[in-house]
């Protein structure tokens, strides 16, 4: 089944162009409208295809297709574990396992969250594709949301770095930050000569991270962190910059496979406004076992 939105034309809206109804009353962007208007059943009035210049009468029903009839992501479907926290026609919220990449790339062609999701949609008969809203590093566990169609993805991406979209991370760092709460404001950019590593540099992009020490665990601390910007490796670089790298961080701290096999970072809280209903959705997850063990 395709995902559609419908609008019954009221007397006040009678005679208004479809293009205006789609953009002002169904909140579709110009990009989405341009994509769907070429589809055979992209824009219908009372079940009949119309163009964007058509002006429906009062009582007629305008409906628009949101889902893609063909998956355009090009991602190869591959079976893999999915821990689904919440799902509806427009989005899916997952608890990502540490060690799983979000996007296919070099060395990870068919073992990523994108591959697993496309396979899940295909085998469950869903007309959906992989439309990521944000990302998590491969070593980071926890909450992540992916849209099922471009309209939902666009709306959710526009919420990023606003009060409507909140991401709170839990981390275990070496040492105890002082003061126990504050804002790390340090621009980030690539480290010369490295394909992966980032660093604090005056000519970098603005980056701000709010932190709060939740409790002391011996020579370490459990810290809550919230992003005000979304730079690559932002939390890891910022914490290392303060002298408190994340436990197990092979790139910005000290690798210790016996302690933990990845940087101790977990996406523990996520909230956003639903792209269609506008209802506020909130999700939280406890610390995963490998991070909880660090307090011992």
User: Which residues are marked as active site?
Assistant: 137
Instruction: Tell me which long-range contacts 36-42 makes (C-beta under 8 A, separation of at least 24).
Output: 36/64, 36/65, 36/66, 39/65, 39/69, 41/2, 41/65
Cα–Cα distances in angstroms (integers) from residue 127 to residues 18, 196, 207, in the given order: 25, 35, 37
| Cα angle 63-66-72, degrees, rounded to a multiple of 5 | 145
The answer to whether 201 touches 189, Cβ cutoff 8 Å, is yes
| Cα angle 180-247-228, degrees, rounded to a multiple of 5 | 50
What is the rounded CA–CA span in Å between residue 155 and residue 72? 19
Helix (H, G, I), strand (E, B), or coil: what is residue 289?
Answer: helix
What is the rounded CA–CA span in Å between residue 49 and residue 259? 61
Backbone angles phi, psi at 22, to 5 degrees: -65, -40
Pairing of strands 166-174, 220-227: antiparallel
């Amino acid at each position: 089944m395709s995902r559609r939105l419908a609008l019954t034309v009221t007397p006040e809206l009678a005679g208004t162009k479809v293009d205006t109804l789609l953009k002002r009353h169904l909140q579709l962007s110009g990009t989405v409208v341009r994509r769907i208007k070429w589809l055979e059943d992209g824009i219908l009035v009372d079940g009949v295809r119309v163009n964007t210049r058509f002006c429906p009468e009062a009582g007629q029903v305008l409906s628009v297709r949101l889902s893609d009839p063909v998956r355009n992501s090009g991602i190869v479907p591959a079976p893999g574990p999915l821990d689904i926290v919440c799902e509806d026609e427009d989005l899916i919220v997952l608890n990502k396992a540490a060690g799983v990449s979000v996007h296919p790339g070099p060395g990870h062609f068919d073992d990523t969250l994108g591959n697993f999701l496309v396979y899940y949609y295909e085998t469950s008969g869903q007309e959906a594709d992989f439309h990521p809203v944000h990302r998590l590093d491969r070593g980071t566990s926890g909450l992540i949301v992916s849209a099922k169609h471009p309209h939902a993805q666009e709306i959710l991406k526009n919420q990023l770095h606003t009060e409507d979209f909140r991401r709170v991370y839990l981390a275990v760092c070496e040492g105890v930050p002082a003061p126990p709460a504050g804002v790390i404001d340090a621009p980030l950019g690539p480290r010369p000569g490295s394909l992966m590593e980032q660093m604090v540099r005056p000519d970098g992009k603005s980056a701000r991270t709010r932190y709060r020490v939740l409790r002391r665990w011996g020579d370490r601390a459990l810290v809550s962190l919230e992003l005000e910007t979304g730079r690559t490796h932002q939390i890891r670089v910022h914490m290392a910059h303060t002298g408190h790298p994340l436990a197990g961080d092979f790139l910005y701290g000290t690798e210790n496979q016996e302690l933990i096999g990845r940087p101790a970072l977990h996406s523990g809280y996520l909230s956003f406004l639903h792209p269609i209903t506008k209802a506020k959705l909130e999700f939280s997850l406890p610390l995963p076992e490998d991070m909880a063990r660090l307090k011992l």
